[in-house]
Structure 1
Amino acid sequence: MKKIISRNSISYGLGFVACTAIAGAIASVNSQPVGAISAISSPNQSVKSQTLARANWQRYNSSTYRVSFQYPRNWKQVKDQPERFRGSDGSFLVSAMSTPSLQEGCRSLANHRLLPYGSKPKIQNLKIQGQSACLILPSADQTRDQKGESTLIVRYPKPVRVGSGTYSYFMLYADKQHIVEIAKTLKLTTSAR
Structure 2
Amino acid sequence: MEQRTRTRMGTAAAGTADRVRRGIRAGLAVGVAAITLATVGGCAFGRPKITVPPPNWATASPSASYDPYNPTPSYTPGYDSYSPSPTQETYDPDGRSDVRGSGCDFSSSLRQFTYTVSITNPSTTSSYSYDMRIDWMKDRPADGSSYGQHQRSVVVAPGATETYTAKYTLNQSTWQAFWYTCQITRATKSKM
TM-score (norm 1): 0.22
TM-score (norm 2): 0.22
Pick 1 or 2: higher relative contact order, CA cutoff 8 A, min separation 6.
1
